[in-house]
Amino acid sequence: DTGVSQNPRHKITKRGQNVTFRCDPISEHNRLYWYRQTLGQGPEFLTYFQNEAQLEKSRLLSDRFSAERPKGSFSTLEIQRTEQGDSAMYLCASSPPGTFTNYGYTFGSGTRLTVV
C-alpha cells in the first residue's frame, strides 16, 4: 500500500455538470476525511467517515454535495450542478483506528476541480 490515492488528479467541468471524485485510503485505516482547499487558504473540513458510517458533516457541505463510503473502504464525493465557487482542491485523508488516535492523518495528493 503506497498511501492515500485520489482520482482523478485534475477535473475540468462546465458549470451545471455533476462530478464525482474517488478516494482510496490506506487499507488498514478505518477513518476517512474529505477536505476542500481554495487558493491561499488552509484545508477546510467537509465530512468524516468511520468505516461506512458518515459521522460528521460540515455546514460547507451543501445539498449539492454528497459523500459515500459504501463498504468502509474507498469513498466517493459527488458534486451536483457544479458552480464556479466549487473550484478548489479536494483532499482526502485517512487515519487508523483507535478511540483517541494520535496519528497525523495521511493525505492524498488531491483532486483539483476547475469549473468553467
Partner 1 sequence: AQSVAQPEDQVNVAEGNPLTVKCTYSVSGNPYLFWYVQYPNRGLQFLLKYITGDNLVKGSYGFEAEFNKSQTSFHLKKPSALVSDSALYFCAVRDSGAHTGTASKLTFGTGTRLQVTL
Among 16, 17, 60, 98, binds partner 1 (CB under 8 A): 98
Burial class (CB in 10 A: 0-12, 13-18, 19+), 102: exposed
Task: Tell me: does residue 25 bind partner 1 (CB under 8 A).
Answer: no
> CA-CA distance, 72 to 107, in Å (whole number)?
17
The residue within the footprint of partner 1, chosen from 20, 22, 52, 107 (CB under 8 A), is 107
48 binds partner 1 per the rule CB under 8 A: yes
Binders of partner 1 among residues 57 to 86 (CB under 8 A) are none
Pick the closer one to partner 1 by CB: 12 or 55. 55
- Exactly one of 17, 18, 51, 101 binds partner 1 (CB under 8 A); which one? 101
Whether the Cβ atoms of residue 65 and residue 1 lie closer than 8 Å to each other: no
Q: Let me know: does 82 contact 13? Beta carbons within 8 Å.
A: yes
Cell of residue 67, nine digits: 459523500
On the 0-12 / 13-18 / 19+ scale of CB atoms within 10 A, 72 is middle
Q: Which of 45, 68, 74, 87 binds partner 1 (CB under 8 A)?
A: 45
Q: Which residues bind partner 1 (CB under 8 A)?
A: 4, 6, 31, 33, 40-45, 48, 50, 55-56, 91, 93, 95, 98-110, 112
